[in-house]
Structure 1
Amino acid sequence: MKYSSVMYLHKGCEAEYKKRHDELWPDLAELLKSYGIKNYYIYLDESESRLYATFDAENLDSGALAKEPVMQRWWKYMADIMETKSESFEPASTALQEVFRFNVQDAQLVRVVAVLDIGKTNIKICLMDAQTGVLKEVIKRTNGVVEEGIYPHVDVETIWQWIKETLAGLTSTYFIGSIAITTHGATAACMAGDVLALPVLDYEYDDIDQCRTEYEKWRSPFSETFSPLLPQGLNLGKQLYWQQSKFPEAFSNVTDILLYPQYWGFLLSGQKVSEVTSLGCHTDLWNPSACQFSHFSQQQGWDKLFPQLVETGAKLGNILPALAEETGLPKSCAIFNGIHDSNASLVPYISKPLDSLTVISSGTWTVIATINGDLDSLDEHKDMLANVDAFGRATPTIRFMGGREWEALRSDKEGTMDDISFILENGVFALPSFATGGGPFAQYQGRIDTRGLSLTPGQQSALADVYVALMTDYCIDLLGESDMTVVEGAFSNNLNFLTLLSSLKANSEIYASRDVTGTAGGAALLSNKSLKHKGRLSLAQCEPTLKPLLNLYRCQWRERLVTLG
C-alpha cells in the first residue's frame, strides 16, 4: 500500500531539514525497515515550504510505530524546524488522495500473502499475490510422525524449523506482508505456559482406542455435537481423555489447549486464541447449534483451558519481533487466525446466493460438505457429521480417506478411458475400505474382485479412479444432491474421476476448481479481506457412451456393499 502526505516546514529551514535527513540516524533507518516501510521519498516545494512524502508499506501499524522511542526522539529533534502536534511532536500532516496513475511498474519485491498449509501428508507454504490472489509459488515437503517417545507424535520442532528457514529464504524475492494458516483437524497442542506440556499426539495412534469403552460413557450424544464416535484419535475429545488418563501428572500442568492452526499462530504472533472451525471438526467438544462448548467438555473442565474464541481470519497481531529479525520478515507482517483445512475450501462459496452447494475437498481425506444442507440427513454410523464453517454455522459433512485409498489401489501408470471401460465391462470391483480411520465403511477390510483377470498397471489405476468416484457418488447421495458440486484439491486434476462423477450425477453440474490452492486460497481470502481472489471453475463433461454401463456397474457395486462384513 502506498502512503502519501504533505508536511509543513518553517520558512528558511529547508537546508537544515535536508542536512538532518542526509544524516538520518541508523537506528531510525532500521526501525522504519522493520515496519516494512520502503520506497520512501520526500519532495520539497520551496515556494510554500511544503514537504510531500510518499512510501510503501503493507499492514503498517502506525500506532505502534508512533510509540517507538526512536521515532519519538526523532520527532522531538525535528520539532524546531517544522509544524508538529503540540504534545507528541509528531509532524503535522495532511494525507493526500491519489487521483491519477500511469504505467506503474512492479516493485522489485512482489507483495504476497504467505499461507502455511499443514496437511497430514504434506506441508506447504503457498505464496499468493496480495492483490490478485494469483498463486506465485509453492514450496512443500512431506510430513511425518515421530514414533519414538511416550507415544507417536507430530514433529512440530522440525516443521517449525523448516517454516522459519523457508520464509527466510523467500524474503529476497517477496515482500511477505501477511501470513494465513490452515491445517488438518483432530489435532491440538497441550501447553504448559509457552511450552508443550505433552507432545502433539498423532491422531492415527491405535492405542488411543484403549479408552473407547470408558470414553463412550462420558461423551456428549450425537444429537448435541453432530460428531460421531470415530476410531483412533479422530475425536479430539478422545485424545484429550486418553492423555489425561495416561499422563495425569503432565496433563495437570496444562494451562492452555491450542487447536492446531492456533498453535502455529501462537508461535508466529505470541497470541493464544481459539477458533470455531477446528473446534467443530468432529471433536465432541462443541455444540454447533448453541455455538458453545459441549456438556462433555464442560464436565471435564476443558472448556476453561481453551483460550478466548476469536473470529476465523481475524488479525492476531504482527509477527514477533525476534522472529522478524531471525527470518528477515518485515516487523509489520500480520498474522491471521487460522482455519481447519476442509473449511478453508468452503470459504470462496459460503456467501454464494445458492439454495445448496456441495464442495468436495480432496487430499488425504475426501471431505464432502453441503452448504445450506439438511442436518436431519446425518447418520453418525456412516461417519456423517456437522462441520462448522467460518461463520460458525453447522454444515452437513461426510468423508472417507479417498486420497489414501486411491494411492493404495493405483499403480504408477495413469489409466485411460479404455482401461476404465475394461473395468466396467468385466465387472472388476474394489469394495471398501482400503484405509483405516474413517468413512462410511471404515469397519470393513477392503477387497478386490478381479474375476480371475490379471490387471495391467493402467487398469489398476482405472480401478482406483472408478472406486473413488463411486465412493464419492455414494456419499453425496447420503447427504443429498445439490444443483452444483465443486471439486477442490487433488481430484480436481483427475480427469477420469471428474468424467466418472459427472456421468454418475446426471442431475448436478460438476465443476473442477482450477485454483490449485483450494485450501490455501480460502485461507488467504478469509485473512486478507481486500484480496481480489476469484475462483476459476471448469465444467466437467460426462461421457454419454459410458453412462449406461456405468449405471449398471454402480447398481452391482452397491448390491455388493449390502453384503459387506
Structure 2
Amino acid sequence: MRYASLMYLHQGCEEEYKRRHDDLWPELADHLKEHGIHNYYIHLDSNKDRDRSESRLYATFDADDLDVEALANHPVMQRWWEYMADIMETKTLSFEPIANALEEVFQFNILQPDKPRVVAVLDIGKTNIKICLMDGQTGALLHIEKRTNAVIDAPPYPHIDEGSIWRWIKDTLADLAQRYFISSIAITTHGATIACMKGDQLALPILDYEYDGVSEFKDEYDAARPDFSESFSPRLPQGLNLGAQLFWQQKRFADEFATVDSLLLYPQFWGYKLSGNKAAEVTSLGCHTDLWNPTSCQFSTFCEQRKWAERFPEVIETGAKLGTILPDLAKETGLPASCVIFNGIHDSNASLVPYIGQPMEKLTVVSSGTWTVIATINGKLDSLQEDKDMLANVDALGRATPTIRFMGGREWEQLRSDSKASLSDISFILEHGILAIPAFAKGGGPFAHCEGRIIDRGIALTPAQQSALADVYVALMTDYCLDLMDSSDTVIVEGAFSNNVNFLFLLACMRSQNEIYASRDVTGTSGGAALLSNKSLKLKGRLSLALCDAQIKPLLNLYRQQWRDLVGEL
C-alpha cells in the first residue's frame, strides 16, 4: 500500500532538514524497516514566490499491513519527532509532525504492483541447480525451482552441459516472471570452472573439473605452478586447480586456445549470459586456482607468465552491479527491462557473507553441500598444510581466509541408505566399533590419496545403520578438519548438514571446546548471494545451539580415538 502526506517546514530550515535526514539515526532506519516501510521519498517544495511562512514537504512510502500505532509509539520515533520539532509544524503535545493525508487521483505505468518483488538467486552447484526467490524486503525464501546437474561425457572431454542449463534458466525465469516481479538476479556457483571465450561464443567446451585427463602434463605443470607460499593453493587432483585446466587445454588444443580473447570464471560466465557484460571476481579467482596471490590481491606470477592474466576482464567488486538484463532476454522471459544482474560469487564464500561483517575476532563456518568447506573468518594462515588440502580462500571483501575441505556430501551419499538413522542406530555403530576409514570420493580432502574402506566386524548393517555410519563418518571428518584449522570458539554449520540432527549431536559431543550452532536459514549459499546484491535485506542469521548427551561421550571418545589411530596410519 502506498502512503502519501503533506508536512510543513519552517521557512529557512530547508538545509537543516536535509542535513538531519542525511544523518538519519541507524536505529530509526531499522525501526522503519521492521515495520515494512520501503520506497520512502520526501520531496521539498520551497517555492519562494508564494506568500506563505512555511515550505511544504511531500512524503510517500510503501508498506504492507502497517501498524501505525506501533510505529508512532516506539521510543525512537518519539525522540526523532522531538528532535525535529524546532524546525517543523507539529502537534502541540506529542511533537508528531502535522501530516495531511493526500488522496491518490491518478496512476500511470506502475511496474506490476500486484506481483511480489523478489531477488532471484541462480545457484549452480555440482549436484543441483536452483533458482531461489527471496523477498525483496525481508530476504525470506519464497520459492525454489530445482533440477539435477549433469556432465556431458563426450569428446573433446567431459564438459558442462551449459546449453541445457541455459535453456532451463530461461524457461524457469519465464515461468517465475508470470508470478513474481524479479527486480534483480544474484549468482553463485561451484568453483574450479572457467569458460574460454572467443567473442560471445565458447572457444572450447567448459571442462568438468573431475576429468582425470588434465593430469596428462602433470610433471610440466608441477614444475611451472607457483609455490604454496605465494598462491596458498594446494596441488589437487583432476582439474581442481583451475590453472591445471588452462595449462592442459592450452597444450592439448593449442589452435582453439589461441583464439581465446577472454577467460570467464563460472559465476561471471552466467553473469555475462544475462547482462552481456564481462568481469572477473576475487572469490572464484582465489579458490585453489594457482592463478591468484591472496595476500597481495593480484594475479600470481605464474598466471602473468602464462599470459593468462591479460585475458581476464577487469576484476570488479563481488556483488557489484554488472548491468541490467539484456533487452532481448527480457522480452523472451518476460523479466522487467530494469532487472539488475550482479557480479556472482563462489558458493562456499557465499556462505560466509552473512558473517563477514560480524563484530567478532574469529568465526568458523562449516559450509556443507557436495563439498564440506570449513573456513575461519579472520583466521591465521600459518596453520595451513598443503598436503592436507588446506588453502587460503578469498572472501567477498578480498581477504585471505584459511580453509580446509573434503567431499563430505558426496561421501555421505555414498555411505548412507534411503533410511534415516535414529540415535539408537548411532549407538549401535559406536558400541560395535564399526568404522568408515577415508576416503570415499576422489577429488580432495586430507585423505584424497587413500582408498576408503569399512571395518564392519563381520556385522551386516541394516539400512538405517548404514545411514548412521554415514552420519558418524562425516562428523568425525569435520572434527578432524577443525583440529587442523585455526578455528574459533564458535562454529556455525551452514547448508545440508545443518539439518542433520545426528551430525550436529555428534559434532557437539566431540567438541566440548566449541559451541556448535546450526544455521536455520534454509537458503544457505543463496541467502549470502542475495545479501551481497541487496544489502538492505534483513537476513537475521537464525542459529540453534547443538546439544550433547553426556552419557554417550565416553563411548564416543573411545570410538573417536580408535578412528583417529587408524587414520593416523594412512
Relative to the length of structure 1, the TM-score reads 0.83
CA contact (8 A) 1:4 1:95 kept: no
2:442 maps to what in 1?
A: 436
Please say if 1:331 is aligned against 2:331.
no
Give the drift of 1:351.
1.1
Please say if 1:240 is aligned against 2:246.
yes
Please say if 1:198 is aligned against 2:237.
no
1:311 maps to what in 2?
A: 317
Give the drift of 1:316.
0.8
Hey, what's the Cα distance between the residues in 2 that align with 1:100 and 1:107?
11
* SS of residue in 2 equivalent to 1:139: strand
Identity %: 67
Please say if 1:466 is aligned against 2:472.
yes
CA contact (8 A) 1:369 1:395 kept: yes
CA contact (8 A) 1:348 1:535 kept: yes
Give the drift of 1:532.
1.7
Give the drift of 1:477.
0.4
Give the drift of 1:546.
1.1
2:59 paired residue among 80, 97, 116: 97
Give the drift of 1:418.
0.7
Hey, what's the Cα distance between the residues in 1 that align with 2:225 and 2:338?
43
Gaps of 5+ in 2: 7-37, 40-55, 68-111
Please say if 1:166 is aligned against 2:172.
yes
Deviations 1:123-179 (A, max 9, x none): 000000000000001100000000112010000010000000000001121000000
CA contact (8 A) 2:353 2:529 kept: yes
Hey, what's the Cα distance between the residues in 1 that align with 2:329 and 2:66?
33
Give the drift of 1:411.
0.8
Give the drift of 1:321.
0.4
Hey, what's the Cα distance between the residues in 2 that align with 1:486 and 1:459?
27
* SS of residue in 2 equivalent to 1:126: strand
* SS of residue in 1 equivalent to 2:417: coil
CA contact (8 A) 1:112 1:128 kept: yes
Moved over 2 A (4+): 1-6, 94-108
1:405 paired residue among 404, 411, 430: 411
2:353 paired residue among 341, 344, 347: 347
* SS of residue in 2 equivalent to 1:166: helix
2:150 paired residue among 124, 144, 148: 144
Name the CA shift for 1:335/1:187 in 2 (closer, same or farther; >3 Å): same
Aligned residue runs from structure 1 range 154-303, under 5 A: 154-303=160-309
Hey, what's the Cα distance between the residues in 1 that align with 2:61 and 2:168?
44
Hey, what's the Cα distance between the residues in 2 that align with 1:466 and 1:187?
31
Aligned residue runs from structure 1 range 338-377, under 5 A: 338-377=344-383
Name the CA shift for 1:463/1:103 in 2 (closer, same or farther; >3 Å): closer
Aligned positions, number: 481
Deviations 1:27-68 (A, max 9, x none): xxxxxxxxxxxxxxxxxxxxxxxxxxxxxx99xxxxxxxxxx
Give the drift of 1:97.
2.3
Please say if 1:508 is aligned against 2:470.
no
* SS of residue in 1 equivalent to 2:255: helix
Hey, what's the Cα distance between the residues in 1 that align with 2:62 and 2:174?
36
Hey, what's the Cα distance between the residues in 2 that align with 1:97 and 1:546?
62
* SS of residue in 2 equivalent to 1:358: strand
1:456 paired residue among 446, 452, 462: 462
Relative to the length of structure 2, the TM-score reads 0.82
CA contact (8 A) 1:116 1:125 kept: yes
Give the drift of 1:481.
3.3
Hey, what's the Cα distance between the residues in 2 that align with 1:287 and 1:226?
8
Give the drift of 1:508.
0.8
2:492 maps to what in 1?
A: 486
Please say if 1:533 is aligned against 2:529.
no
Hey, what's the Cα distance between the residues in 2 that align with 1:5 and 1:245?
69
Give the drift of 1:482.
1.3
Deviations 1:499-547 (A, max 9, x none): 0001111011111111111100000001112212211111111121111
1:80 maps to what in 2?
A: none
Whichever residue aligns with residue 388 of structure 1, its letter is V
1:389 paired residue among 395, 415, 426: 395
Whichever residue aligns with residue 553 of structure 2, its letter is K
Hey, what's the Cα distance between the residues in 2 that align with 1:514 and 1:353?
20
Please say if 1:379 is aligned against 2:385.
yes
Deviations 1:215-244 (A, max 9, x none): 001000000000000000000000000000
CA contact (8 A) 2:183 2:338 kept: yes
